[in-house]
Amino acid sequence: MQVETIPSKWPEGFSEGSRNRRALFVLMSLRGIEPKKLLGLAVRERTASRCLAAIRTGRAGSPSDHEHAGSIDPATVEAAVHACGARLVVAGSPEYPPQLNDLHDPPAGLFVRGRPLPGRFGTVAVVGARRCSDLGGDLSHTIGRDLAASGLCVVSGAARGIDAAAHEGALAAGGHTIAVLGCGIDRPYPSASRVLIGRIAAEGSVASEYPPGVPAEPFRFPARNRLVAALATALVVVEGAQRSGSLISARHALGIGRDVFAVPGSVTNPLSYVPHTLIRDGATLIRGVDDLMDDLGLTRDPGRELMPVDLTVPERAALDIITAPVLPERIARDIGVGVADAISLLMRLEMKGLVVCVGGRYERRLRASAT
């Protein structure tokens, strides 16, 4: 494991002492003071308490910030943090991930539940479409599982689809995964991920730059994405449509020198837009887990694979044809059987967990191997 020596962008002693720590609880609760603005103010004022004084006296921030700062009780914020099982990890402290200082706007602190956050060299981000395909979800789960089983931490945004599958894969391997939220540390969002986020808090880490009570709002998710990218040494994109937030994550990663990998797909599939765009821009194409592990210099453990599935000769012949989504008629024609027999073969393969039917076409799944 490499030791990181990235210097903090925050002034030395910015959050030291109880007075500065109380001030930081207030500063991080202000909606109008983004990290970039607060960092600029910190460079001038040097400590959190002086930054708060500047805002409360009207020397910094907007009139709204001035009014809001006077209404926030730091003890109330701190009590809410403790009530949800979280802690405030301040910039410059041993637990604060130093790689966040690669950002031009690193947060002054992170609210964290669960395990300590690892360094960049032990972490890989996996992101992609919320409405992913079954194949994309399988691949994300497999990537998360194999990375975690290789001793790496998997970081993502806890959203539906690719994010959730990567987290679940890491948990299935008994590994460490980090969910970065785009809302208050006490608010599991989306609600469909409530159980998953609870598991991650118990077995891994949940992090947010927002204190308890902050709602999930659209503008917070691009900010969340920059943290996902910065926490990792590499970022993997598995599917993403044209306006997908995964493209924002990848741009953040490239902007701070992270390696970016992308899984290609069909040129007619809208979910291939982001991976193909990134590959055209120079991201590394990976065909699956093996490529990623090779490029990261990792070795997969064959003992972690699922047990092989016994196949009949016709089933094997049908499976060998499915290198891309195919219709039953194609299977029937290529192996010389009737359509009804081909459908029966495909249904047996589906029951064995080897293929999945999507829109009438059959695709391979990635969670089982066959002999």
Q: pLDDT digits over 219-278, tens only? A: 899 999 999 999 999 999 999 998 888 999 999 999 999 999 999 988 889 999 999 999
Q: What is the per-residue pLDDT for 301? A: 53
Residues 359 and 257 placed together within one structural domain of the fold: no
Distance CA 143, CA 161 (A): 14
pLDDT of residue 359: 82
Q: What is the pLDDT of residue 195?
A: 95
- Digits of tens for pLDDT over the chain (371 positions)? 444 556 789 999 999 999 999 999 999 999 889 999 999 999 999 999 999 999 999 999 999 999 999 999 999 999 999 999 999 999 999 899 999 999 999 999 999 999 999 887 889 999 999 999 988 999 999 999 999 988 899 999 999 999 999 999 999 999 999 999 999 999 988 888 899 999 999 999 999 999 999 998 888 999 999 999 999 999 999 999 988 889 999 999 999 999 999 999 888 899 999 999 999 999 999 988 888 888 988 766 544 443 345 678 788 888 878 877 899 999 998 888 899 889 988 988 887 778 888 888 998 875 544 34
Q: Are residues 136 and 256 in the same domain?
A: yes
Q: Are residues 247 and 172 in the same domain?
A: yes
CA distance 137 to 135: 5
369 assigned to some structural domain: no
Judge if 348 and 221 occupy the same domain: no
For the chain, strand residue ranges (E) read: 86-90, 109-114, 123-128, 153-156, 177-180, 205-208, 234-238, 259-263, 284-285, 355-358, 361-364
CA distances from 285 to 12, 273, 358, 369 (A): 41, 14, 24, 23
| pLDDT, position 368 | 43
Question: In this structure, are 92 and 213 located in the same domain?
Answer: no
In a domain, 370, yes or no: no
3, part of any domain: no
In the numeric block, which tokens belong to residue 357?
Answer: 């039917």
Q: What CATH number does residue 351 fall under? A: 1.10.10.10
pLDDT of residue 304: 46
Q: Structural domain tally of the chain?
A: 3
Range of the domain at 48: 17-114
